[in-house]
Structure 1
Amino acid sequence: MSSNATSYKQRKEDFVSGLSGGSVTEINYVTAIGPIAFVLWSILQSRQSFFKPYKPLSFVIDFLLNVVAILLAITLYADKPLLLSGLLLVPAMFVYALPPNPAVSRKKPKLPPNAQAQKSSGALSLLSTKPFLTTYRGLMMVITCLAILAVDFRIFPRRFAKVETWGTSLMDVGVGSFVFSAGIVAARPVLRERAEGKATPLLQRLRYAMRHSFPLLVLGVIRLISVKGLDYAEHVTEYGVHWNFFFTLGFLPPFVALFQSALQIIPSYAALAILLGVIYQAVLETTSLKAFVLIAPRTDIISMNKEGICSFVGYLAIFLAGQDTGMYVLPRSIVPRSGTSNSTQRTTLLLRMAVWTSIWTILYFFTTSYNYGAGLDVSRRLANLPYILWTAAFNSSQLLASCAIESIFFPSFYNATDAKTEQEAYETATSRVLRAFNRNGLAIFLVANLLTGLVNVTVPTLDVGPSVTMAILVGYAAVLTALAVTLDAWNISIKL
């Protein structure tokens, strides 16, 4: 390899190394752009029925609001997230002030007049596919896919890129959010099992988990071979020499299957997550494990991948925290009493979400505060207790925001009394773009990784100007969005 290519590879590695991140407040401002842009989308849809029927212009506006607005938040408006919020809220207020489209009231889902009609349209399932969950997961997928390419360009602030050891950054919370979000969905089979009143034997659970893990582990191996084979710039202190994020995702299901047995002793996933996080933190503080991860030489297969192996404990705790959230977010009825009104159900869900957001936030505050708590620093590299609590608090607040927006603009979803009406209400309350990103999330993430590699191999990302950078990033976002929406339009679900 020429010294020129070697020096460029070194420059790329230096570009993402030794970073210390930014403030949690700024990360909150930047990530708030997603929900704020969705408020404008919701007003356009609920007041003007703008996205129904879904025309080419609808797609363009959907793409601009739910993808490009987030891209602007992490690039051109990274220093001015509040200004961008204002630029989205002003037109939102203007559209809200306009008289509603008369067609909207006519299109509201009609409730079947009797039980016979209800049967003919299909009875409601135990677990509904809730619009706000689709919105939350869709927004998380969009910002993750955008950040993994944007980080290679100078327009993406260094404080948003993954920190070296201690600190908080946008991409650090993104990795944890991916795991938390997977945990929410993993509550589905557990809830179904409980509703049917049967317990799956441990061996059967492990077999099922391994079936889910296998494709992810294969992707991890493919990524490892391609990174080494292409001599791609890599940040070794992120996960280690051979480990990558796909391995972390792949090893989670079997360990969660094992931990499910512990629920007979500890009845809550959240308590299990906190207990695991506290024990892991205690081990870091009282043994040489922390020093081993941070400064030990890489002499064998374990020490070469020490970050990936040790941080796995933290990611497991984050997954369990997500699963606990799924246990109360996914069921159709949070209040299991018959005759409870839909508005009561929704208010109870919002209150429960607000309470859990507060609990995770307070725990995070006392773990990290120097004056009133333990004074610990967040470390994504270790996936330590403060990182676990920060990820849980951040995602709970994002989920709460999505649920509040849906409750304000699309309350009719909760009034559906049959499957057909509910499906119509669900499609009305969710962005086609976010729905598509959520539906094939892992497949789109994989394509995003491949495209990121392709761009990095063909474009000297450190040396291009802002206008070329934005053209590449918007083009990349458009390709991913078009692929996601096309798969959704063809009714294709790629399960990895």
Structure 2
Amino acid sequence: MASNSTTYKQMKEDFVSNLSGGSVTEINYVTAVGPIAFVLWSVLQSRQSFFKPYKPLSFVVDFILNVVAPLLGMTLYSDTPLLLCGLFLVPAIFVYALPPNPAASRKKLKLPPGSQSQKASSALGVLSTKPFLTTYRGSMLVLTCLAILAVDFRLFPRRFAKVETWGTSLMDVGVGSFVFSAGVVAARPMLKERAQGRTTPLGQRLLYSMRHSFPLLVLGIVRLISVKGLDYAEHVTEYGVHWNFFFTLGFLPPFVAIFQSALNVIPSYAAIALLLGVLYQVVLESTPLKAFILTAPRVDLFSMNREGICSFVGYLAIFLAGQDAGMFVLPRSINPRSRVSHSTQRTTLLLIMAVWSGIWTVLYFFTTNFSYGAGLDVSRRLANLPYILWIAAFNSAQILACCVIETVFFPSFYSAVDAKSEQEAYETATSRVLRSFNKNGLAIFLLANLMTGLVNMTVPTLDVGPAGTMGILVGYSAVITSVAVALDAWNISIKL
């Protein structure tokens, strides 16, 4: 029996090793399924008020559109993602053409007024909880949670699994996006400080960041012990022998706190991220570091975990790029001093985001193109400059897409005059499922990790056919979605 389990473990490790990925274009098509399905959600909500009140049928449709749709994109429709996008767009156009539900239009008209006293008692803060950010972060988490289990089945194309050293894949973009989206919300404390005109001393910032890091590092240690103790199949060249993604996430906050001081010299997080990425790339190309990361023998603790330790520089740059996006995406108004209308503020935000998406994309093109640029290859294992730029470009475009959808279907959110009406408008413009994933992101990601381990230890995933695979994946996603929505319904927020 021991030899059987050993060979099966070896088979599983081989199944996720030495892969070369697929094209960025195909990854864009597959990840477009989420926003396109959300267009249908938005049409149903804005025209028919379908998800208000939230009944069991509303939950089922919400789950199908925001969880099952991306799952289909990475499994059964992996070769024809554009067909799947079409299958969601056609009903969206059809529902949009129907006369709107009178209740939905009445709801829109009722939003602003509010008496003076009410306005004073619940005035709007400097930062608002923006629906499009909830949608973006929620859908990123859904994709990540789906892929970590789907990758163990044969139905999930090998070109979507993490590449060995050079190349791009769906799961590679997932890891980076997780870090980028954490960076976006990390801009909140900074913006609050600016609004109040105060600065926190470095020591205090470091102390606060350590508090934030501690639970993540504990999770990293727990994962390490459980993987080694349960003899679980692992891919060593991903982060190293002992390192894992929780360690990368856990070490980010203190370094970010230190880099915050650099803002006095370099006034933009994006510039710091670029500088860090370029310097790291120069070191990789001009010293033996690249050869060390890829080929050195694993003789001591540092060389055993060289991938995780060295790629940390790249992830730090991605986090800072995300933080830069957060600096202009999170504030209620782009320029609080100017008295311009909500629609002008909105157009300005869309333009800034489009410009940044363009900048990151152009930089990515010039670092990776062989004819016109530096001709560098993307490597998630190294988290090199092309990888940093790819993640920044991809996520900026995703946030832009979510923002455009919201601007088209839920413009009334921006005319709310007090906290109560804004909260109502926020709930109207966000999917309950995506909102729940976003609210307890790390806790749900941890649950997804535990359930992935459980499925892998009880089911020989490599031997399961397509129907069985879809059954397991839909069941798994239904469980984590139900837990997320239940936590949201009971208003429980687990801060890790």
Q: Which runs of 5+ in 1 are unaligned?
A: none
TM superposition shift of 1:105: 1.4
How is 1:360-375 mapped onto 2 (pairs within 5 angstroms)? 360-375=360-375
Instruction: Return the alpha-carbon distance in structure 2 between the equivalents of residues 395 and 28 of structure 1.
Output: 11
Secondary structure in 2 matching 1:32: helix
- 1:16-45 superposed Cα distances (whole Å, 9 cap, x missing partner): 000000000000000000000000000000
Instruction: Return the alpha-carbon distance in structure 1 between the equivalents of residues 52 and 293 of structure 2.
Output: 53
Q: Is residue 388 of structure 1 aligned with residue 374 of structure 2?
A: no
Q: Is residue 209 of structure 1 aligned with residue 202 of structure 2?
A: no
- 1:209-267 superposed Cα distances (whole Å, 9 cap, x missing partner): 00000000000000000000000000000000000000000000000001111111111
- The answer to whether the Cα contact below 8 Å between 1:314 and 1:384 also exists between their aligned partners in 2 is yes
Instruction: Return the alpha-carbon distance in structure 2 between the equivalents of residues 328 and 339 of structure 1.
Output: 17
TM superposition shift of 1:458: 0.2
TM superposition shift of 1:336: 2.3
Instruction: Return the alpha-carbon distance in structure 2 between the equivalents of residues 333 and 82 of structure 1.
Output: 36
Name 1:37's counterpart in structure 2.
37
Name 2:118's counterpart in structure 1.
117
Secondary structure in 1 matching 2:464: coil
Name 2:58's counterpart in structure 1.
58
Q: Is residue 258 of structure 1 aligned with residue 258 of structure 2?
A: yes
Name 1:405's counterpart in structure 2.
405
Q: Give the alignment's Cα RMSD to 1 decimal.
A: 0.7
The TM-score, its normalising length taken from structure 2, stands at 0.99
How is 1:253-402 mapped onto 2 (pairs within 5 angstroms)? 253-402=253-402
Aligned partner of 1:11: which letter?
M
TM superposition shift of 1:47: 0.2
- The answer to whether the Cα contact below 8 Å between 1:335 and 1:348 also exists between their aligned partners in 2 is no
How is 1:3-42 mapped onto 2 (pairs within 5 angstroms)? 3-42=3-42
Aligned partner of 1:367: which letter?
T
Tell me the matched-pair count. Answer: 495
Name 1:87's counterpart in structure 2.
87
How is 1:164-243 mapped onto 2 (pairs within 5 angstroms)? 164-243=164-243
The TM-score, its normalising length taken from structure 1, stands at 0.99
Instruction: Return the alpha-carbon distance in structure 2 between the equivalents of residues 115 and 274 of structure 1.
Output: 47
Q: Is residue 424 of structure 1 aligned with residue 424 of structure 2?
A: yes
Instruction: Return the alpha-carbon distance in structure 2 between the equivalents of residues 278 and 413 of structure 1.
Output: 40
Q: Which moved more, 1:313-322 or 1:332-341?
A: 332-341
Instruction: Return the alpha-carbon distance in structure 2 between the equivalents of residues 113 and 182 of structure 1.
Output: 35
Q: Which runs of 5+ in 2 are unaligned?
A: none
Aligned partner of 1:88: which letter?
F
Aligned partner of 2:471: which letter?
A
Instruction: Return the alpha-carbon distance in structure 2 between the equivalents of residues 129 and 144 of structure 1.
Output: 23
Aligned partner of 1:480: which letter?
I
TM superposition shift of 1:113: 5.2
How is 1:468-483 mapped onto 2 (pairs within 5 angstroms)? 468-483=468-483
- 1:175-205 superposed Cα distances (whole Å, 9 cap, x missing partner): 0000000000100000001111111111100
TM superposition shift of 1:114: 4.7
Instruction: Return the alpha-carbon distance in structure 1 between the equivalents of residues 114 and 284 of structure 2.
Output: 61
TM superposition shift of 1:338: 4.0
- The answer to whether the Cα contact below 8 Å between 1:368 and 1:374 also exists between their aligned partners in 2 is yes
- The answer to whether the Cα contact below 8 Å between 2:406 and 2:429 also exists between their aligned partners in 1 is yes
Q: Is residue 126 of structure 1 aligned with residue 126 of structure 2?
A: yes
Instruction: Return the alpha-carbon distance in structure 1 between the equivalents of residues 123 and 454 of structure 2.
Output: 47
Secondary structure in 2 matching 1:492: coil
Q: Percent identity?
A: 80
Instruction: Return the alpha-carbon distance in structure 1 between the equivalents of residues 286 and 448 of structure 2.
Output: 40
Instruction: Return the alpha-carbon distance in structure 1 between the equivalents of residues 338 and 322 of structure 2.
Output: 28
Secondary structure in 1 matching 2:380: coil
- The answer to whether the Cα contact below 8 Å between 2:114 and 2:418 also exists between their aligned partners in 1 is no
Aligned partner of 2:449: which letter?
N
Aligned partner of 1:471: which letter?
G
TM superposition shift of 1:9: 0.2
Instruction: Return the alpha-carbon distance in structure 2 between the equivalents of residues 54 and 335 of structure 1.
Output: 36
- The answer to whether the Cα contact below 8 Å between 1:112 and 1:118 also exists between their aligned partners in 2 is no
Instruction: Return the alpha-carbon distance in structure 2 between the equivalents of residues 368 and 237 of structure 1.
Output: 23
TM superposition shift of 1:118: 1.3
Aligned partner of 2:120: which letter?
K
TM superposition shift of 1:339: 2.4
- The answer to whether the Cα contact below 8 Å between 2:40 and 2:91 also exists between their aligned partners in 1 is yes
Instruction: Return the alpha-carbon distance in structure 1 between the equivalents of residues 118 and 455 of structure 2.
Output: 54
Secondary structure in 1 matching 2:462: coil
Name 2:135's counterpart in structure 1.
135
TM superposition shift of 1:330: 0.2
Name 1:106's counterpart in structure 2.
106
Name 2:451's counterpart in structure 1.
451
Name 1:151's counterpart in structure 2.
151
Name 1:492's counterpart in structure 2.
492
- The answer to whether the Cα contact below 8 Å between 2:111 and 2:412 also exists between their aligned partners in 1 is no
Secondary structure in 2 matching 1:370: coil
TM superposition shift of 1:106: 1.2
Aligned partner of 2:18: which letter?
G
- The answer to whether the Cα contact below 8 Å between 1:284 and 1:290 also exists between their aligned partners in 2 is yes
TM superposition shift of 1:110: 2.5
Instruction: Return the alpha-carbon distance in structure 2 between the equivalents of residues 37 and 239 of structure 1.
Output: 34
Instruction: Return the alpha-carbon distance in structure 2 between the equivalents of residues 213 and 128 of structure 1.
Output: 26
